Structure 1
Amino acid sequence: MSRTTGQGATGRAAVTRRLIREESRGDLPMLACLAVLVLVLTALCAWAPVLAGRQEDRALRQRVDAAQAQAPLISLSTTPEVFTTSPPSMDMATLLTAGRTLTEHLDGSAARHLSLTGGSYDYDPASLLSPRPPGQASTSVQLTVSHLPSAQAHLRYVSGHAPADRTPLTTPPQIGLSQATARALGVRAGSRLSVEFPKTPGAQNAAPDAELVVSGVYRTTAAANGFWTGRETLDQPARYPAERSAGTVLAVRGLVGRDAADLLAGAGVGGPRVTWQMRADLSGAALDRARALTGPLSHYGADLSAALCQGSDWVTGDIACQVGGQSTQSLLVTDSLTPLLTAFTAQDRQARALATYAVDALAAVALATVAVAVRLLLRRRQPHLRLQRARGASTARLVLLRCAVAWPVVLIAALLGWAAGRSLAPAGTSGSPQPLPAVLTTATVLLTVPLMTWLAVREPRRPGRLRRTRRRTAVGRRAVLELTVLLTTAAGVLALRAQGPDGILGAVPVLVALSVVLILLRVYPLVLRLVLRRTRRGRGVVGFVGAARAAHDAPATGLALFVLVLTLGTAVFGGLVQRTVDDGLATGAAWTTGADASATVAGTVTPAGTTAGGTRTALQRLRTLDLAGQADGAVVSQVAVITVDARQLAAVAPKSPLAGALSAGLTTPPGGRVDASVPLPSFLSPDLRARERTGGFTTTVVTQGQPPVNLTLKPVGTLTAADLHDPLLGPVTAQLPPGTPLLITVADAEHLLPEQAAGSTVLLLKGDGPQALRSAAAKALGPLARIRVRSETLSTLRADGLTQGLGMIYTAGSILAALSGLLALALELTLTAQERGRTTSFLRTLGLGAREAGAIHFLQLLPLAVASAVGGTLLGLLEPRLMQQTLDLRQFTGGPAEPALHTDYSLTLALVAGVTALILAAAATETVLARRRRLGAVLRLS
């Protein structure tokens, strides 16, 4: 008995294995389709995040390199104590060299990412006792002594030589001055300067004197990396009013050698402020390295104090530290890398959110394609399933049999795809493969097979009197399901607009696409029925049959419609984002440069000479003044006052609304010079205008040797939001803190306004050729001017890693989604081809011609093409408007305001034409195949 039972079990197992082999051979095309889909999806889960990480690393390196070209992102500073010995002394060479050891107090991994680029020191401004500047008897001179080795690469000595780093103890320290500074002081190479340095509180009762010898006079050279930003006084002296006495102060700066601090210490001068500059090395995985640095940098100062400092200094009472054997005050860490990384993280988060839309759409299209493939696989095996069902096979056995056939193929494809993605992924990036999405994708495909198999082979319900009730129940369930989807979509859109994109809400566009498809499935059958009523009255049978078959097949094509609508909508959405960003980049470049080019220097500078005949210029000078309301006397402090020549602005930007408004409003009496008795016409920012609605403003100007002069600023207009966002103001307002009140007045008032070291001069240029614009700007404002050319700025913005990465994701996602959608469409048309073929074959047996049969094929598929084109276009245009508050594209453009959404209509038309042509090509293919059937095949189908 047991032997018989065992033989029976063995026989059933053998039969099952044989059935699996036969099923596998019969299902080979569909299994191959499933395997390709799973392989591609899992490979993308392993490869795409690593590639995206490489783009993020590239974008962060671009920002860090640009910032470090202008100034170090990380620096350490301290003040050495020179009065700890008698006589006072210090060893600056040892102290500067000791800076290399300061990185050792970072965590091991962080220390490897920082390198010391050099050290420098600066003294507090000293008073120049002699010689007195020529022609300025009542002007005091403040001389700042600095040791800045990095400046030597941007200087050329026209007389004398650079200050020596090693000089005999018996000689005075050497100092190098710029040509403009030497001219303002009336000195040359070999001249001696007598200066008085500030006294050290607690250690000195009188200010120490010292003597410096001018070793050489240099001329600055242009630096394309912005080296001179903030260091303009090394070339041009600055003048500003004295705070506690009448007159002006002439502020100059000179360069000294390394051992000047040792010589000055011997003369009793207190220690300078020593600074060590550090460079962050973010090669390779830049984002990971930056994150590894920011943690240790947050407590770097505390770690240095714990390791190098103890007790307190007897002179200042500050913490006493030891650096390279030299007593110093406490160490200060300046970290500009962390704010830069914070700003980049916000941009990167927005880029990831935008990329999530494309990724989710691709996943939805691929999974829909999987469902179509499984559905077609089951349709092909339907006769076999019915036969097995009739022979007594249970639902569970049939489901397990399909799983036994499909699951090994899916699992092997998933493993191969993951391995292929890992092997193709670039190494050394901040991105990493994502196994969880790969597992979820594979699990979804694995569960799709038994679920759809169960729906196909489950026990049919008994027919009877409750059929009508069941039909009503099915209709009610469909209505509830559709209403649930619509409500979920609305809730998702509201949540997305309220809290912004995240990992879960990134699927909202897919829900929007599903809602659009549900609405189409409800609407376009109604349209077809209306068409059917009209065609029923006609004489021809082609239109009626085509419309009837299209209306009958409309519910069955829902999955294909979803795939096409989502694919087309995602492509339209991606084209809109890329077009908006590209247009926004042009606006951002124009805002940054103001015109074809701009040059900016500190202080109120008069351009030297004239520019070439083909180049037009406009000068803007920025000052900060305190104004008082003419009616109520209320003081408005720190108002940005810009002087412009409206005619020059109109010549540089003839189409600018701001230039037109200023030309009409900023008018002065012809033929006369503007003086203090004439109110100055002015345009005010809205916040400033709100503080003084009835009158103007006044300000007091104090000029050396003259009595104070009261100026009146008369409002003639208010700047609108569009005026404040005009590119002409970009280079100026970029220097102002947000919310600064703004006033624009005429350039004829320049001689009435005081000079300010804190102000700036902006020259706007219009002409052809970047080199010609740079040459003209440097000639007008000197080599220290920071020059920006719009074409070069636009190229830099377009080369940004985040912008390029976003475009690459949408392009690749749209291509892959289109390929998957094409496969889904082909499978869906194959699935429904038999029904269409049976209809046309039946009509052909009744005498319908081949041409009319082909027309029926076209008419059956034409509504699907129209619905897909309309739904996809509507989805692509609707999604950005629904989520406009979360699409902060200003992160990528650099403009003053959020760029307006611009639809790429050429791309939209091309996509619609492509989808329509694809469906009509399928109809043409079916027509050709139908014409090749012989009469026997036609009769069998009918």
Structure 2
Amino acid sequence: MRIPLLARANAGTLTVLIALSAVACLLVAGLPRATQASFDEALRRSLTTAPAVQTDLTVASEPRSPEQDLHERGQFASLYPQWRQIVPAALRPLLAPTGHMSAKTSRTPVAGTSGRTYINLGWLSDADQRVEWVRGRAPGPLSTTRHEGETIPLIEVGVVEEAVREMGLGIGQTKVLGESDYVAVKIVGLFKAKNPDDRYWSHHADVLHVSRQLPPGGLDFEYHVTTVMSDAGLTALSGESRHLTYRWVLPLDGRAASALAVPDVAAAVTELERLMPVQVVSPSPHRLDTGLPNLLGDFSAALASAQTVIFLALGGLLAVALGVIVLGVRLLTDRMEHPLGLARARGGSLRQVAGAGAALTALAVAPAALAGYALSFLVPGPVLPVVHAGPAVVVVTAVVFAAVRVSLAHRTPLHERRDDVAAARPSPRRVTLEVLVVGLALAGAYLLRERGLSQDPFLLLVPVALTLAAALITLRCYPYPLRLLVRLAGRGRSAVPFLGLTRAARARSASGLPVLILLPALAVSVFATVISSGIASTQVRASWQQVGAPIKVTSVGEIQASVIEKVRATDGVEQVVVAQTGRVQLADVPEWAAAIAVDMAQWQRLVAGTPISLPTLSGDTSALVSPELRGRGAFEIGWLGRPRLTPQGVIDAVPGFWSSGKFIVMSPSALPRLEVNTLLIKGDVPLAELARMVPASTVDSQERALAVIREDPLTGAVRSTLIVVTVALGLYALVAVVLSLVVGAADRTRAVSFLRTLGLSERQARRLTVLEVLPMVLVTSLVGLGLGLGLPAALGPGVDLSAYAGDLPVGDYSPDLLTPGALAAALIVAAALGAYAHTAIGRRRNLGAVLRVGDST
């Protein structure tokens, strides 16, 4: 066979096949890289934005005897290399070059304060690099002093500036610590962090800030602060007399993390916990403190949901792309049918004929696949196995289909067939297989709803099976209503409707291929559109749930009335609702709950027209309680007095404040006075201006919360992938419609030409072509549209998308029919225009060039 001659004769078809193959390979190889890059970025952002105390590997030891005490920096430093040495290989790329060490006491009371003031002793190995002394000097050597007739150690320390305001500490003060084994500290300097935003300080928040703690059953706060001392102070610390903890911190650099390595990293952390007691010689027992497994677990759960949605979309895209390429290969083999049949009749073997069809297909598909594969490397992201496998699947599918189809078409020389006379009956084997596919699809959908994807990853094939089942049912059932229309058309006076619908109902079995392409394309694209719309609407609702108002201002202290009036008078502010929040004690028992005192009627007016709704609260002493406080009857709370509240109802969440735990919503009139510390604001006003007006406050807005949710890399990966898949599938569907018209063009032209010899007009020819082509596209579009709208509701319970919607479950799949309807309408219009164009082109052909001798007699 002369392959170059065949290629030159079918240059147009080969060009279409080349374009389809190149684009398909670019998509199937490029999109996985892009999505995996988004996954990696999401993991890196999760690790770099989380507090370092959660991500870093911290080795902790609590000495209990003098033999276990470490009194010199060198003793700490000698152990640090041992911790790094036993870190498993999967964790080593994530370790930062340097770490730090610390020694701290906890709950060290100041003598004579009745346990209300605690000054803990702290040593940081890199304090000189982290703090800046603003007053006084850095701590110096250890000395002694007298207390109650005994000589005790005197340690020079520095404290954070905040301790001066909160605890009344100052330079020159000497405090005796302990209840029996005393030690004295002398404050010689005040410091502040050189970079208070450094993630390093999450390990030492007790050094940088004074903490207030309310003990169980108590009404007075305890004040805690941790000082900073020099290396000399280590000699006075002993675990025998103090609650002492040593720590070696191995920082993690999240910028080197990869989502593909998450399982290995999680296993490495577990292995490190096992190795520590047996691989390192240390004077005291030690443990590994890290929140990394929890972070990786949360990320893995969110990643699994993202992969589920993306794999469903990409799987549908690959299936449709392969179907369109197969349709293009079918067009090529149809165009080669005459020369190949002639070669077969002249003695060519079946192997030679099939080899020629496969070789010509490979000549077009292989270079195009290689070009698409090469272009995919322009997309940033790791190279996954699917990047290599996808283009190979495209080439193999196209070549194998060409070889098989040519082999079946030319089993015997000069094999004549006419499948347009009557519809072929499917074999019992084929009917059984189709029934089995439909049954498995329905059973899989039920299991997916009941068990979810986490129980069985093979359920990922369920959506594909559902679309295939719907396509098979459509393929088998759509001729029956057409036959009813044929009977009705047969009673009319015009022959065109009868002939057009008859040809549509008696379509060749191979014409089902466009159905198997169009229906998944429409279903998956509509499914992607509905899922994307559901995520977007839930994100908006989640942002309102997080903030509770267009703008929320929360202050650490009371907001004065003059400041509130100033806020009300600011340009752009439409409404301000004041509230007081805090923790309250329930009755006389050591039980605590969160509470908010707010005018619910004003709050309801402020959020009118938003996705959140608020219950009604009537009565000065009425309250709404959380489910945990249900059924208690009237109760007292300790909050600016002892108001007695009567539960009026149960509320599951308070938008902007709490969604779980114990909480109370009450009227401001139940309190003796309202100490406002929260403002709920409606209007358009710069957040920075509000932060300036209300000192020591945090300003949140619904728009900012929504932006944070949408900027998450995983969320962006899901939505961008769905958008790309929707557009690609829409284009593929249009290409499938055009190719289906071209594939049947020869038979259709021959039939129309034959009817023109019997007096068929050009206008009637156009109507006939439209009636032949349009029913298949119309029925398939409607079924695909319905399936795509139903898939989210059918599969929704098995796919958790809350990680991309502000942790709210995505259950509102209200269909937005604009995009799906436009896509279905575009396919129908394209089919109608293609039919008209086909008739116009066929009109210019000479009947003698179409009909053979004897066809018109």
| TM-score computed with the length of structure 2 as normaliser | 0.83
Matched, 1:55 2:8: no
The one-letter amino acid paired with 1:309 is V
Instruction: Give the CA deviation at 1:484.
Output: 2.8
* Change beyond 3 A, Cα 1:231–1:597: farther
Distance 1:146 1:773, change over 3 A: farther
Change (3 A) 1:165 1:917: farther
Matched, 1:494 2:463: no
The 5 A counterparts of 1:396-407 are 398-403=353-358, 405-406=360-361
Residue 922 of structure 1: CA displacement? 0.9
Show the counterpart of 1:646. Answer: 599
**Displacement after TM superposition at 1:414 (Å):** 5.2
Query: For residues 301 and 102 of structure 1, do their structure 2 counterparts lie closer, same or farther at Cα, with a shift above 3 Å needed?
Result: same
Q: Which residue of 2 aligns with 1:732?
A: 658
- Change beyond 3 A, Cα 1:300–1:885: same
- Cα deviation per residue 1:757-801 (whole Å; 9 max; x = unaligned)? xxxx9835324567x435535765726x5x543322322221222
Residue 92 of structure 1 contacts residue 258 of structure 1 at CA under 8 Å; is this kept in 2?
Answer: no
Instruction: Give me the whole-angstrom Cα distance separating, in 2, the residues matched to 1:440 and 1:403.
Output: 15
1:148-187 per-residue CA deviation (whole Å, 9 max, x = no partner) reads 7999999998xx61661545757751332545x4355445
Question: How do residues 360-399 of structure 1 correspond to structure 2 at under 5 angstroms?
Answer: 360-391=315-346, 395=350, 398-399=353-354
Whether 1:210 aligns to 2:211 is no
Residue in 1 that maps onto 2:541: 587
State the AA in 1 paired with 2:109: S
- Residues 737 and 827 in structure 2, CA contact (< 8 A), matched pair in contact too: no
Instruction: Work out whether residues 240 and 250 of structure 1, in 8 Å CA contact, stay in contact via their aligned partners in 2.
Output: yes
5 Å-filtered alignment, 1:46-125, equals 46-68=29-51, 72-79=55-62, 83=66, 90-92=71-73, 95=76, 99=80, 102-107=83-88, 110-115=91-96, 116-125=98-107
State how far apart, in whole Å, the 2-side matches of 1:712 and 1:148 are: 49
**Selected match of 2:309 from 332, 336, 354:** 354
Structure 2 distance, partners of 1:890, 1:821, is 31
1:573-606 Cα shifts (integer Å, max 9, x gaps): 111111111222222222333333446688xx53
Contact 2:104 2:244 in 1 (8 A): yes
**Aligned equivalents of 1:555, 1:627: Cα separation in 2:** 79
Aligned residue type for 1:58: E
CA distance in 2, matches of 1:226, 1:662: 46
Is 1:164 the counterpart of 2:138 in the alignment? yes
How far off is 1:69 after superposition?
6.3
Matched residue, 1:684: 625
Please state whether the residue corresponding to 2:288 is helix, strand or coil.
strand
Give 2:481's aligned amino acid. Answer: V
Deviation at residue 939 of structure 1 after TM alignment: 6.7
2:818 to 903, 906, 925: 906
User: Following the alignment from structure 2 to structure 1, what is the Cα–Cα distance between the partners of residues 555 and 59?
Assistant: 28
Task: Give the alignment partner of residue 467 of structure 2, picking from 488, 492, 513.
Answer: 513
Tell me the residue number matched to 1:765: 680
- Per-residue deviation at 1:820? 3.8
Q: TM-score, normalised by structure 1?
A: 0.76
Contact 1:162 1:215 in 2 (8 A): yes
State the shift of 1:344 in Å. 1.0
| Alignment partners' CA distance in 2, 1:267 and 1:374 | 79
Q: Which residue of structure 2 lines up, in the alignment, with residue 675 of structure 1?
A: none
SS in 2 for 1:727: coil
Q: Is the 8 A contact 2:22 2:371 kept in 1?
A: yes
Q: Which residue matches 1:197?
A: 178
Pairs within 5 Å for 1:839-878: 839-878=751-790
Question: What is the CA-CA distance between 1:114 and the residue it aligns to?
Answer: 1.3
Aligned residue identity for 1:342: G
Measured in 1, the distance between the counterparts of 2:462 and 2:493 equals: 48
> Which residue identity is paired with 1:75?
T
For residue 306 of structure 2, what is the amino acid of its counterpart?
A: A
Name the residue aligned to 2:252.
280
Correspondence 1:745 to 2:666:
yes
The 1:410–1:895 alpha-carbon spacing in structure 2 relative to 1, beyond 3 Å, is closer
SS at match of 1:357: helix
CA contact (8 A) 1:622 1:732 kept: no
Cα 1:410–1:363 change in 2 (3 A) is: same
Give the direction of change, closer, same or farther, for the CA distance of 1:152–1:922 in structure 2 (3 Å limit).
farther
Contact 2:622/2:666 (8 A) holds in 1: yes
- The counterpart of 1:888, out of the listed 800, 816, 820, is 800
Closer/same/farther in 2, CA of residues 687 and 192 from structure 1, 3 Å limit: closer
Q: 1:23 to 1:685 in 2, by over 3 A?
A: same
SS at match of 2:595: strand
Equivalenced residues, count: 829
Structure 2 counterpart of 1:298, from 249, 270, 288: 270
Paired residue for 1:256, among 198, 213, 228? 228
Matching of residues 593-608 of structure 1 within 5 Å = 593-598=547-552, 605-607=557-559
* SS in structure 2 at match of 1:248: coil
Instruction: Give the aligned residue type for 2:57.
Output: I
Separation of aligned partners in 1, 2:424 and 2:502: 23
CA distance in 1, matches of 2:611, 2:648: 16
Give the distance between the partners of 2:441 and 2:338, measured in 1 at CA.
39
Is 1:623 the counterpart of 2:583? The answer is yes
- Structure 2: distance between partners of 1:229 and 1:936: 89
Percent of aligned pairs sharing the same letter: 23
Are 2:734 and 1:813 equivalent residues in the alignment? no
Q: Distance in 1 between matches of 2:203 and 2:546?
A: 16
Q: Give the equivalent residue in structure 1 for 2:696.
A: 782
Distance 2:101 2:560 in 1: 35
Q: Distance in 1 between matches of 2:509 and 2:830?
A: 20
Letter of the 2:579 partner, please give it: L
How far has the Cα of 1:436 moved from its partner?
4.6
Are the equivalent residues in 2 in contact too, given 1:646–1:659 (CA < 8 A)? no
Paired residue for 1:316? none
Which residue number corresponds to residue 4 of structure 1?
A: none
Q: CA deviation at 1:873?
A: 0.9
Per-residue CA deviations over 1:356-389 (Å, capped at 9, x if unaligned) read: 2222222222232233233333332333444445
Task: Return the offset for 1:208.
Answer: 0.9
Q: Which amino acid in the other structure matches residue 406 of structure 2?
A: T
* Aligned alpha-carbon RMSD (Å): 4.5
Superposed, 1:529-544 pairs within 5 Å as 529-544=483-498
Q: Structure 2 CA distance, aligned partners of 1:72 and 1:258?
A: 28
Indicate if the aligned counterparts of 1:643 and 1:749 stay in contact, CA closer than 8 A: no
Aligned partners of 2:125, 2:669: CA distance in 1, in Å? 42
Counterpart code for 1:616 = V
Per the TM alignment, residue 343 of structure 1 is displaced from its structure 2 partner at its CA by 1.3
Give the Cα separation in 2 of the matches to 1:60 and 1:860: 53
1:569 partnered with 2:541: no
The match for 1:838 is 750
Structure 2 CA distance for partners of 1:277 and 1:762, relative to 1, 3 Å: farther
Please, which of 480, 501, 509 is the counterpart of residue 432 of structure 2?
480
Distance 1:421 1:492 in 2: 37
Kindly provide the amino acid, as one letter, of the partner of residue 741 in structure 2: L
1:877, distance to aligned residue in structure 2 (A):
0.5
1:715 to 647, 657, 662: 647
Cα distance in 1 for residues equivalent to 2:555 and 2:822:
49
Q: Residue by residue, what CA displacement relative to the aligned partner does 1:704-752 show, whole Å, maximum 9, x if unpaired?
A: xxxxx98754221122xxxx25534xx333xx5xxx3544334455679
Q: Is the 8 A contact 1:163 1:257 kept in 2?
A: no
Give structure 1 stretches of 5+ with no counterpart: 1-17, 133-137, 199-205, 311-319, 321-328, 629-634, 669-679, 704-708, 756-760
In 2, are the aligned partners of 1:74 and 1:278 still within 8 Å (CA)? yes
Q: 2:480 aligns with which of 526, 533, 540?
A: 526
CA drift of 1:550 comes to: 3.1
- For 2:43 and 2:173, the matched residues in 1 are separated by 48
